Chains A and B, each alone.
Chain A
Amino acid sequence: MEKREVWITGVGLVSCFGEGAEHHWEVLGGNTAPAPVIDSTRFAPYSVHPLPEMDWSKQIPRRGDQRQMENWQRLGTYTAGLALDNAGLKDNENMVFTMDLVVAAGGGERDISVDNSIMQDAASRNDREMLLNERLPSDLRPTLFLAQLSNLMAGNISIVHKVTGSSRTYMGEESAGITSIENAMRRIQAGQSTHVLVGGAFNAERPDLLLSTELGHYSWHGAPEAIAARQASGGGMITGSAGAFVVLEEAEHARARGAKPYAKLSGVVSDLGKRDEASTRQRLNRMLDKLEPKSGTAVVSGATGCSPITGIEFDVLEARLGKDVAIRAFSTMIGNPVEANFPAGIALAAMAIANGSFYPQFESAEKPAKGKPDSILVSSIGHYRGEGFGLVEKI
């Protein structure tokens, strides 16, 4: 079966730098990289890239809708709206009614003050299970549950933006983002879908998630450093609040409505396997064999900064694409948005292709870019498990 071509026709992006594809290109696409926005005090010893000031009502007009969500869902719903706007599909009832929705999601916010208060009471109780029965029924807000369910980011996007062709939510940290993009692409390639809104969002400003990461000792402590620079000190992850959605569209479908594409998504590969060095190298190389990026292909890397996995990724890429390959690890700039990692990488690559130049060095270890990129490799190597690559190319 002939595979249909998949175009990226819309980009929605929110990070610590602000919102919108154009704004992000202005900030990140110039001759020198900006200083990243990092908050190292609020959750010390952890640093996070915080959300920018948001006026939620720009994409979520009804206050009632805003109230039903916490920031994770608001951010996803907002960013999805940006991508629809950017693709020229916002409020196009016929288009969104048949549009497929694919979301990469974790779980939503807990009520941290309730949790902390119960833990304080629990310190002096032996019957802790009884304490939960006393406290939770009165302390939990009934609607908070809906803000926690993984598929309710998609649910809110359907409600606010009326995207209702189908709705699927994938989970599993960075893997969720890889699966989302890969599945949406395959459905379009095979003619199972014509246009898909796909992406994810992550709220890094949550002590419960920082705890979850720390349990496995994946967190970076102390003064923030860039991704490659962290490798010398044992590595570690700094997360960032961010949302990234793209509109993927069958080329014919996009042409028919006169959409202006950023780039085409030529392929996505993914895998899972043991994380020891030898098998990881083998696996990454096997995946790259399938995508066949040409020597010198620039890379938008979702590297998390964790060690040794980030070092292995860079080694494999340099061995394959050349010592001087321009790798841009975007987590240095916006933090790791976990489930939104791969969608963010795809968005950044599409923007670079459309603008006809690559990003400046995000840290001194990165090599300068050479010329206009026609093809950009996107990586997302999960901080814990799961790996994927994508190839975004000029049309």
Chain B
Amino acid sequence: MSGKYMDHKGRPVVVVTGMGAVTSLGLGKKDNWAALTAGKSGIHHIKRFPTDRLNTTIAGTVDFMDTEEISAPAISYAMADATAEEALAEAGFGRSGFPGPLYFAAPPVELEWMHRFTLMGEGAQGEPGYQQLQAAARANKHERMHELIQLGTIAYRIAEKYGARGLPISLSTACASGATALQQGVEAIRRGETDAALCVASDGSVTAEGLIRFSLLSALTAQNDKPEKASKPFSKDRDGFVMSEGSAALVLESLEHATARGAKILGVVRGVGEKADSFHRTRSSPDGKPVITAIRLGLEDAGVELGDIGYINAHGTSTPENDRMEYNALHHVFGDAIHSIPISSNKSMIGHTLTAGGAVEAVISFMTMREGVIPPTINYDNPDPDIPLDVVPNKSRQAQVSTVLSNSFGFGGQNACLVLGIDVR
């Protein structure tokens, strides 16, 4: 392989040739980009289920997809399908025969209350409860219900529909999953075991129980009155994230493969840094070391200097702890230079798309570089004086950016940082 196709460590350069996105702002990159650069929020009062008695009654649900039922797996599948299709079409691959594996950041799916209630209504003998549901299941095969609630199903379906090669990979690193899906694709191409990888992330798990679980961990904001104002990363009065839905898909290829087939190159995944944290199940180490290490490993893997980073796409969840921790870690790595690097949180507009976040934000990061516009951090009306960052407040900004750092952190001590670029060199 010629040197022009290799990176600073002699590995294949990994480029992006197709992207797709769905968020509460709309279906497809075009609509999302228009809304994001206009500083529009996709957060709204929940209509999917009654919210009486719930602390949080707002979310960034995606209510416009055509789904086989209203459940986390069905919604997640529909969004994953839509973004995969958009990305593959842009990359110029048809509906069958994608020349590589699928890495899918999979949402948590399981039997939901609607399924339990459906089974209860099938008239099996016994007291209401799991034994009765089992009796109903024994009496009639429920093939579709079974299929939907298996954790591997969405990936199986996407892989088969688009002809991805081999056993599709379903993965979870909680709220870092979207970034991990890209990382896996990058690693596979660097190993030389494939020329291309389809990386998809999807999360449509805003159910009453899902919302209540996060609420019980005090992770969600309850500023329900003005939903579009509730997600306010880096603001002093931020008090939790907004649970949201979304999906993104990226077609990764080795530069050599993309060049050989004449594909349009949308960007480069320069590097990935990862470090696990052993401090706590939901909180980061107080010294920030794992996050600091993940950022540094990402920069080192990408072979870029601190000064090369022109924009940071923050994890920026709008929880009191995350935003402070993220600032402290960035300050530690970049020093005072961090105060003049633009950094914004897409979550101010689309909420926290959980499993999908890292991939959705990677797509937005590439668009930021391609379009020369940085989407803002909206709802920045009350800056946190302890986080003196240039958060691109409230209005998008014209700026030519060639290298982006995109952070993703998740429960369970997961930290993944992507370094993304626009130029092949």
Contact = CB atoms under 8 A, between A and B. Distances in A.
A binds B: yes
Interface of A: 1, 45-46, 68, 101, 105-107, 110, 112, 115-116, 118-120, 122-123, 128-130, 132-134, 136-137, 140-142, 144-146, 148-152, 154-156, 158-159, 162-173, 175-176, 178-179, 183, 186-187, 189-190, 192, 207-208, 210-212, 214-217, 221, 270-272, 384-388
Given A150-B151, A159-B278, A216-B143, 6 more contacts: A101-B276, A158-B276, A186-B188, A186-B191, A215-B146, A217-B141
Contact of A212 (B120, B149, B217): B149
Given A128-B113, A173-B150, A178 B167 contact: yes
B278 A119 contact: no
B277 A112 contact: no
Contacts of B109: 107
Given A128-B113, A145-B214, A212 B146 contact: yes
B388 interface: no
A112 B190 CA distance: 45
B173 A168 contact: yes
A175 B150 CA distance: 11
A134 B53 contact: yes
A169 B412 CA distance: 11
Contacts of B26: none
A136 B168 contact: no
Contacts of B129: 115-116, 119-120
A101 to B, nearest CB: 7
A134 B305 CA distance: 54
Given A212-B111, A272-B167, A115 B180 contact: no
Contacts of A217: 137, 141
Given A158-B412, A216-B142, A151 B152 contact: no
Given A129-B49, A151-B173, A272-B156, A140 B412 contact: no
B281 interface: yes
A178 B193 CA distance: 17
Interface stretch (B205-213, B240-248, B314-322): B205-213
Interface of B: 49-55, 106, 108-111, 113, 116-117, 120, 127-134, 137-138, 141-143, 145-147, 149-153, 155-156, 159-160, 166-174, 180, 184, 187-188, 190-193, 208-209, 212-217, 274-282, 290, 410-414
Given A190-B191, A211-B137, A216-B142, A136 B208 contact: yes
A183 B184 CA distance: 9
Contacts of B414: 151, 155, 167
Contacts, number: 250
Nearest to A154: B412
Contacts of A130: 50, 52-53
Contact of B147 (A105, A146, A165, A216): A216
A362 to B, nearest CB: 27
B52 A151 contact: no
Nearest to A44: B131
A214 B148 CA distance: 14
A120 to B, nearest CB: 5
Contacts of B155: 172
A192 B188 CA distance: 10
Nearest to A190: B191
Nearest to A386: B167
Contacts of B170: 170-172, 175-176, 179
A165 B129 CA distance: 43
A107 to B, nearest CB: 5
Given A140-B213, A215-B146, A272-B156, A146 B411 contact: yes
Contacts of B116: 115, 119
Contacts of A187: 187, 191
B134 A271 contact: no
A171 B180 CA distance: 13
B169 A164 contact: no
Contact of A216 (B141, B159, B281): B141
Contacts of B111: 208, 211-212
Given A123-B120, A128-B117, A133-B50, A107 B151 contact: yes
Q: Which A-B residue pairs are the 8 nearest by beta carbons?
A: A172-B152, A155-B412, A216-B146, A116-B129, A215-B146, A207-B130, A167-B276, A270-B167
Contact of B412 (A133, A149, A178): A149
Contacts of A385: 150, 152-153, 156
Contact of A132 (B113, B167, B214): B113
Given A106-B151, A150-B172, A386-B152, A215 B167 contact: no
A344 B117 CA distance: 36
Most A C-beta atoms less than 10 A away, residue of B117, B150, B156, B159: B150
A119 B128 contact: yes
A186 B188 CA distance: 9
Contacts of B131: 207
B120 A133 contact: no
Contact of B208 (A68, A133, A142, A148): A133
Contacts of A162: 278
Contacts of A192: 187, 190-191
A207 to B, nearest CB: 4
Given A119-B120, A155-B412, A215 B142 contact: yes
Contact of A149 (B108, B138, B156, B212): B108
B356 to A, nearest CB: 15
A142 B218 CA distance: 9
Contacts of B290: 164
